[in-house]
């Protein structure tokens, strides 16, 4: 094969490799070159044929380029349409998550509201958890609480007794104590009556220092005339009030101030209204965590 054909074939192959010519075009043109007269040709003739071949190739290349351009444009149009379609399709889901989030938020709010209502219901139950205890059960709870308090008193070199409240001659009104949670009824005389009080006492006790050095649980001689004469009034005296809401309330007295069985308590008027003999002091929720836990344990025991 002469050098001219070889050169043409190489050029043709380069065009094919660079994707200027399709496979069919490459095969056709290759066959045309091979079928060309193989007699020697002059240089000018060779150059003329070469130019003619290139002229034949150029349209093919332009045609191929045009096809590529058209393909690219079509691809751009297709992608653009797909993008618009995607955006259109995704427009609704873009809102749906927000709706879902809103629904989720509403659901969370409803759950929180339900939880809050449940918590409130639980609190109401706690506030009245021992309302159904009988008088004998209340006495048992108070006795066992006093046994527990006796050990605490001994550790502090103090005495403890159950005579935390009493009074002499009085009217017909109910006796009560003030606390941060409301009034605690300690004696029911029907005026205004049990239903008028949010909390009622289970019992109570009083911690003090005995003048005779007695420690632990002490059976205080109940003489209203003598009252707390056995107590050293110059030292701390603390009253614990056990509420049927499951809380222990505490009132610190003594330390040089006269303390009696009525300290911390008051009486309703004979008409069932607040009168002139209300409590002068207010019980606070005791910070004694052990006492709180002990009362809870005893209430659960007798529920």
DSSP state of 198: S
Mean pLDDT lowest for which of 47-51, 78-82, 89-93, 272-276? 89-93
Mean pLDDT lowest for which of 96-110, 126-140, 270-284? 96-110
Residue 76: per-residue pLDDT: 46
Higher pLDDT, 66 or 286: 286
Residue 95: per-residue pLDDT: 39
Residue 183: per-residue pLDDT: 98
- Asked whether the predicted pLDDT for residue 195 surpasses 90, the reply is yes
205: β partners: 240
Nearest CA to 177 among 145, 200, 196?
Answer: 200
Q: Count each helix (H run) and each strand (E run) in the chain, helices first.
A: 5, 9
Long-range residue pairs from 68-76, CB within 8 A, at least 24 positions apart, any chain: none
Pair of tokens at residue 220: 């205080």
Nearest CA to 185 among 173, 195, 171, 197?
Answer: 197
Residue 46: per-residue pLDDT: 44
Residue 209: per-residue pLDDT: 97
Tell me the Cα Rg of the chain: 52
- Asked whether the predicted pLDDT for residue 205 surpasses 60, the reply is yes
- In order, the DSSP letters of 98-157 are HHHHHHHHHHHHHHHHHHHHHHHHHHHHHHTTTTT--HHHHHHHHHHHHHHHHHHHHHTT
Percent over 70 (pLDDT), the chain: 67
CB 185 within 8 A of CB 200: yes
- Asked whether the predicted pLDDT for residue 29 surpasses 70, the reply is yes
pLDDT-based confidence at residue 2 (cuts at 50, 70, 90): low
């Amino acid at each position: 094969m002469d050098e001219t054909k070889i050169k043409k074939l190489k050029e043709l192959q380069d065009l094919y490799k660079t994707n200027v010519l399709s496979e069919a075009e490459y095969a056709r043109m290759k066959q045309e070159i091979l079928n060309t007269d193989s007699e020697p040709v002059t240089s000018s003739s060779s150059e003329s044929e070469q130019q003619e071949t290139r002229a034949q190739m150029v349209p093919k290349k332009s045609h191929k380029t045009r096809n590529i351009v058209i393909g690219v444009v079509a691809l751009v149009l297709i992608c653009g349409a797909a993008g618009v379609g995607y955006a259109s399709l995704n427009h609704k889901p873009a809102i749906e998550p927000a709706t879902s989030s809103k629904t989720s938020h509403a659901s969370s709010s409803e759950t929180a509201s339900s939880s809050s209502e449940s918590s409130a219901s639980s609190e109401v139950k706690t506030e009245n958890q021992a309302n159904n205890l009988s008088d004998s059960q209340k006495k048992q709870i108070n006795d066992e609480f006093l046994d527990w308090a006796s050990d605490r008193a001994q550790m502090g070199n103090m005495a403890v007794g159950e005579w935390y409240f009493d009074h002499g001659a009085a009217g017909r009104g109910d006796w009560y104590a003030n606390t941060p949670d409301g009034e605690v009824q300690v004696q029911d005389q029907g005026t205004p009556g049990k239903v008028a009080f949010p909390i009622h006492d289970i019992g109570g006790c009083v911690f003090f220092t005995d003048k005779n050095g007695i420690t632990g649980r002490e059976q205080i001689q109940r003489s209203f005339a003598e009252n707390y004469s056995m107590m050293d009034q110059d030292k701390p005296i603390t009253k614990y009030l056990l509420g049927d809401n499951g809380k222990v309330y505490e009132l610190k007295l003594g330390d040089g101030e006269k303390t009696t069985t009525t300290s911390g308590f008051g009486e309703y008027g004979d008409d069932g209204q607040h009168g002139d003999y209300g409590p002068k002091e207010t019980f606070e929720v005791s910070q004694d965590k052990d006492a709180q836990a002990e009362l809870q344990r005893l209430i659960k025991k007798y529920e």
